[in-house]
Structure 1
């Protein structure tokens, strides 16, 4: 990936996929800090940089995107706090994916599997356990170290065409190139997709997963929007950028992860791949809904405003009623919600999170303390707002014990609901 970036004063409002000018605003979430960071206690009195968080719609290729105001090295550094393995449901998802790909593609000891954005080896560990040669590529050294402890060989780098060329030269042209929730996180989308096309073998397969734009729109999942997520994809937009780089979308699966995601399969166009009926079926559904029309995106800002208003009104009333309200989880999406709604520790006393990398730190922007989950049993809050609503079932099971003292579990998206 080309790691060059431009300063906010020189950012051009042009589409990172097709290059055309961006004019339609999906939603303006105001100014927000980097939401996948945490604030160390010693920096509690130090200011943060807030950047514009405005999602735009390309009316040519229909890619939804935010501006790349921040260098990727600043976001994905050696202190990156997200470790995928702390989610039990995500590990189960990864294990099921490996089982499915081994059967579907006939992967064995003679195959090559590369995952881009491999994080802490959460998925490739299951490939390694099956004796399938596997390599991860991830820019964060701390997660790569955790992956190596699982036996997953990992290259610390930003993936793009130049890295793909080096991997192929080193014998890593892949039968399977996998990426889960990574394509949204690259500012140079064209370089990334060109890298996928170069890395995959002539008869190999690329699978990329990402939250589906339609579920983000229909489910009012605006907290999915943050600076670390540069792009938001429909199948219409993915097919367009893939075609321009020699990849053909061959199949698509709809997944429940992250509130509704797609797993898109692709192969090199020069290999004359066979396209499954699922592709045309989903494209037809998207177009019938209006994904390729400006009207589809109108009214989203009003829906977001209602979510914010309902949550803040509830928290203010809870404070007046003397209720103790806390949050479960400190994910990027939660920080988008907290900062857009201007929620601070007077309304949400603290957050808890399973990741040790976040304990004792403060959430970005809101500066709400992040504590170990054990503090819930000590303080017995009245209301627990579940920030990663996409994991509501997993978290509800984890927090079943809180019902002993009558705690109420709630989510704010798509609307304020008691679990």
Structure 2
């Protein structure tokens, strides 16, 4: 393995989570007696450029050809997208907005409402079809430099190019950066949102490591990668989404835009945490082990006390957690999810049944383990009835905590 950004072969272990199945390959009942493929989940840090990364063991086409994640099932995420559109329109006054990995149109629907021309590029056929059904023009394809050139030739340069929660999913970092630059007008904007490695380390968010996330970004590594593509990082926002994210605002070289003080401030914060040297990446594995031990101990004690434990949500991150911790139906009877695609299926590796949310309310378990902890406030509001039968909601990250429904 060599670094996909700088080509160095000086890669050190960041955290090794064993081997797991791909986190979004949910099983049908017919799959339960068949073997599952598993792949190492061993993240490493490049000692030369400090990019944290996984080897590209899985072809993205295997993951994203048909995808189980639909952004619109989270109302808070749809509202977050609307606010981003407001900011981008005020900043850029766009005539054309292109979103990469546009999912089911959760963001571009707000662009359409403003009467602004837009185009989504979404590799998953089933998710892209959902976007087209709501009127969002969508190309079903993976973005690469050739496709970017075709889109620009047909639709013209984009004033705003959005890439929300996709920058971690791209094994060809250099080619993806080149494609973003091709899509953007010479005076345009590229807006990227991605989880911030700094908060991932500080809060022990190891469950966001899974095979479809090929790398994990600091502002420092992202700035270097964008520069390789002819894009200059000019602003950054710190966001609470996904447990702590960064919104990167970049412009093509030659616009004359200078970086804001926010860029310098976040870089200084990363340096203060030690993330400007390889030594700053040690110690994460020990915290991960402590989180696992606390959760498993809690579930075993609940089981021995005769308490029934169920889950809420079946996100990709939850499957990393369940597999690393070795949690199976003896400790977590089932989980529920808003997404109908997952109903009647089973979690990969751990094979925990997934039901519709109404099942939870009918069953009334003693404990509900909230797997998408990044939506804890939204979910706690949805699960207010749990308090009526004396149930408890629990999250495992950043530490084991009982929260009030």
The yes-or-no answer on 1:17 pairing with 2:1 is no
SS in 1 for 2:213: coil
Q: CA deviation at 1:293?
A: 1.0
Distance 2:156 2:41 in 1: 38
The yes-or-no answer on 1:50 pairing with 2:38 is yes
The yes-or-no answer on 1:81 pairing with 2:65 is no
Distance 1:355 1:37 in 2: 14
Map 1:199-348 to 2 at 5 A: 199-348=183-332
Map 1:393-408 to 2 at 5 A: 393-408=377-392
SS in 2 for 1:223: helix
The yes-or-no answer on 1:68 pairing with 2:52 is no
Q: CA deviation at 1:346?
A: 0.2
Is the 2:10–2:48 contact (alpha carbons within 8 Å) kept by the matching residues of 1? no
Per-residue displacement from partner, 1:207-244 (whole Å, max 9, x unpaired)?
00001000000000000000011110000000111111
RMSD between aligned residues: 0.8
Is the 1:61–1:236 contact (alpha carbons within 8 Å) kept by the matching residues of 2? no
Equivalent position of 1:8 in the other structure: none
Aligned length: 403
Q: CA deviation at 1:171?
A: 2.6
Distance 2:398 2:253 in 1: 39
Distance 1:183 1:258 in 2: 14
The yes-or-no answer on 1:94 pairing with 2:94 is no
Is the 1:112–1:174 contact (alpha carbons within 8 Å) kept by the matching residues of 2? yes
Is the 1:252–1:278 contact (alpha carbons within 8 Å) kept by the matching residues of 2? yes
SS in 2 for 1:131: coil
Q: CA deviation at 1:378?
A: 1.2
Map 1:124-139 to 2 at 5 A: 124-139=108-123
Q: CA deviation at 1:99?
A: 1.3
Distance 1:229 1:94 in 2: 21
Is the 2:23–2:210 contact (alpha carbons within 8 Å) kept by the matching residues of 1? yes
Is the 1:59–1:292 contact (alpha carbons within 8 Å) kept by the matching residues of 2? no
TM-score, length-normalised on structure 2?
0.98
Distance 1:317 1:171 in 2: 59
SS in 2 for 1:252: strand
Q: CA deviation at 1:115?
A: 0.2
Per-residue displacement from partner, 1:321-371 (whole Å, max 9, x unpaired)?
000001100000000000001100000000100000000000000000000
Distance 1:198 1:291 in 2: 31
Q: CA deviation at 1:288?
A: 2.1
Q: CA deviation at 1:162?
A: 1.0
SS in 1 for 2:104: coil
- In the alignment, which of 143, 153, 171 is matched to residue 169 of structure 1? 153
Distance 2:154 2:21 in 1: 39
**Structure 2, unaligned stretches of length 5 or more?**
none
Distance 2:254 2:83 in 1: 30
Ranges of 4+ aligned residues in structure 1 off by more than 6 Å: none
Map 1:326-405 to 2 at 5 A: 326-405=310-389
Q: CA deviation at 1:385?
A: 0.3
